Structure 1
Amino acid sequence: MSAEKLLTLDFSKEEALTKVFPKLPVLTSKEAGWNGIYLAYDYHLPGETPEVAGQQHGIVIFTEVPTPIGAERKLDGCLRKEQVVQGDVVIVPANTGHRVQWDSAGGVIVLGFEPAILTHAIYEMVDVEQAAIAPHFAKPDPLIYQLGLTLKAELESGRLGSQLYAETIANLLAVHLLQHYSTQKLIIKNYTGGLPKYKLQQVIDYINAHLDRSLGLAELAAVVQMSPGYFARLFKQSINLAPHQYLIQCRVQRAKQLLCQGELTIAEIAYRVGFANQGHLNYHFKRLVGITPKAMLRHK
């Protein structure tokens, strides 16, 4: 059956998942504001899916598998029986037919991300004209497994600022997929030396001017006219921190300044510097400063 005749799945529309599963997943990234990457998680009972072709690249990650799951999977026209265990992943490129029938319950993360992420993420590092992802049946991949769990945990925490974190992980996934699941071997260029000082300062100034809102990796990379993946690598080389780590440090530093001024409550400061709530400010403040904002006020 050709991809044109298959049921089309658009990961960007949460309700589209009901074409595949009997109900909406218990956790999705719909409200997270992530750019071009979508996550759905649920604990699925034995069942089957229709054959669908996603508009986005898809990654299926098996997270809780009490006993090996027997599955019959059709992927890109090939039919295979397999035993799926925790940590296995399935790679389904965009516009590729996929259906599966399975006999045991298990927790599953489904990631979808726009094909443009591959090219936008790393166009300085590979010849993107040769970049294409190949389908893969279930196999262990510790890095994808951990990155999937990290994204799920970020959603569950409800932290504001997860857009930057999610886009950073999406870029890591893009590089990993092209290195290990490409239709042909690609050499990822390695750049060293960090950002030029004036470009680093441009990004730092931009971050500090927009601490009160969610910032994305693509947005920061655009400030210095780079691809997100290239920018993220050089930024970390420059200051030994990933962009999302530096953003949190800036928010905590601004919170310290506002606490010293004594004009706002801790809750007001949390929102002013871009944290989702006072609890998130408390968590990062104590982690980086060593004491809570309340304790700092007592020792002013």
Structure 2
Amino acid sequence: MQHRGNVLESAGTDRRRADRRIFDGIPESAERCLVTFRGGAAHVVHGPGSHAFKAAEHFGSVLLAPSRGIAASLGSDKVHEYDGDVGMIMIVPADLGGKVTRSSTTESVIVALTPESLFELATREFGTGHAELQPPPFGTVDFQALQLAQLLKVELTDRETPNEFYVDSLVTMFGVHLLRNYAGARKLPQGPKGGLSNRSARRVREFLDVNFSSKIAVAELAALSSLSPSHFIQAFTKTFGEPPHKYLLRLRLDFAEKLLVESELSIAEVAHLSGFSDQSHLTVTMSKYRSRTPKQVKLQR
């Protein structure tokens, strides 16, 4: 798959995006695709036939035109037969396989969300990233999802070069819509045992999201939770599954990769803006944790 920001003009185009294959769950009939920061979107016209799917991303598919005689299974061998109306939504959580058989041509928009993106959106929406998508019954019509899908189709098909930031905004809105209507949040009112409270975790996370490129002392973060530095490190690790320095490093590397892909900044400039001391520091760190160099990321876009 091409790296995010590149439009896929034909099914034969290489579909690699760094170490992921965002559109593995989308068949080769995709008319236009665009990979974005949070995932991606595709306008797809399916001819009659069968399509099996399973991907590492979460998917939402919305029908743009009526389609009669659909048979589908999701997560089991049980097949459901139904007619698809305009606005019918199908949700496929990451790593859940299924199969669709169509007796007529269908037109749809498919939105992909990476697990990391859905986790982040769920954290902001529910105060916890532990949210699970719950696919609705086959044949469910969702007019709000249809509106977003129609906007995505116009952007993907009517413009020679779709605006990536606009598409990414629609993908984000689609993700929030899925969470609000088709997800269950496993809330942890007191936070994990020995971890930060949900309120403290939210404050720390929001602070890091804004200030990750600056020098941040553990004592500064601990003060947000009214804890001692040593207690804070233990509680943070319990809550986020990694110590503060690794969490911060991940934010910096994510931002650096985004700049390398979406801007014309030099590697040295990207290193500075992402919170690394210099280009060498960024290169060594990215090679260690992402198994690729900044130069390689630039070349893959």
TM-score, normalised to structure 2, is: 0.51
Q: Distance in 2 between matches of 1:10 and 1:114?
A: 15
Matched, 1:154 2:155: yes
C-alpha RMSD over aligned residues = 3.9
Corresponding residue of 2:290: none
Q: Distance in 1 between matches of 2:61 and 2:85?
A: 12
Q: Is the 8 A contact 1:63 1:107 kept in 2?
A: yes
Q: Distance in 1 between matches of 2:140 and 2:80?
A: 13
Corresponding residue of 1:47: 49
Alpha-carbon displacement from aligned partner over 1:160-214 (angstroms, at most 9, x marks no partner) = 6x2221222222122211111013598xxxxxxxxxxxx9xxxxxxxxxx9xx76
Q: Distance in 1 between matches of 2:133 and 2:148?
A: 18
Alpha-carbon displacement from aligned partner over 1:30-86 (angstroms, at most 9, x marks no partner) = xxx521322222322211113x32110011111122xx4111110121421111111
Corresponding residue of 1:27: 32
Secondary structure class of the residue paired with 1:87: coil
- Report the residue type matching 1:42 in the other structure: V
Secondary structure class of the residue paired with 2:151: helix
Q: Distance in 1 between matches of 2:120 and 2:130?
A: 14
Corresponding residue of 1:74: 73
Corresponding residue of 2:175: 174
Q: Distance in 2 between matches of 1:35 and 1:110?
A: 16
Alpha-carbon displacement from aligned partner over 1:236-280 (angstroms, at most 9, x marks no partner) = xxxxxxxxxxxxxxxxxxxxxxxxxxxxxxxxxxxxxxxxxxxxx
Secondary structure class of the residue paired with 2:81: strand
Secondary structure class of the residue paired with 1:183: strand
Query: In the superposition, relative to structure 1, how do residues 145 and 10 fare at CA in structure 2: closer, same or farther (>3 Å)?
Result: farther
Q: CA deviation at 1:138?
A: 2.9
Alpha-carbon displacement from aligned partner over 1:3-38 (angstroms, at most 9, x marks no partner) = xxxxxx999647846xx64x4422121xxx521322
Corresponding residue of 2:104: 104
Unaligned runs of 5+ in 1: 1-8, 187-198, 200-209, 216-222, 224-300
Aligned residues: 183
- Report the residue type matching 1:49 in the other structure: H
Q: CA deviation at 1:96?
A: 0.9
Q: CA deviation at 1:159?
A: 4.7
Q: Distance in 2 between matches of 1:41 and 1:170?
A: 13
Secondary structure class of the residue paired with 1:41: strand
- Report the residue type matching 1:45 in the other structure: G
- Report the residue type matching 1:96 in the other structure: L
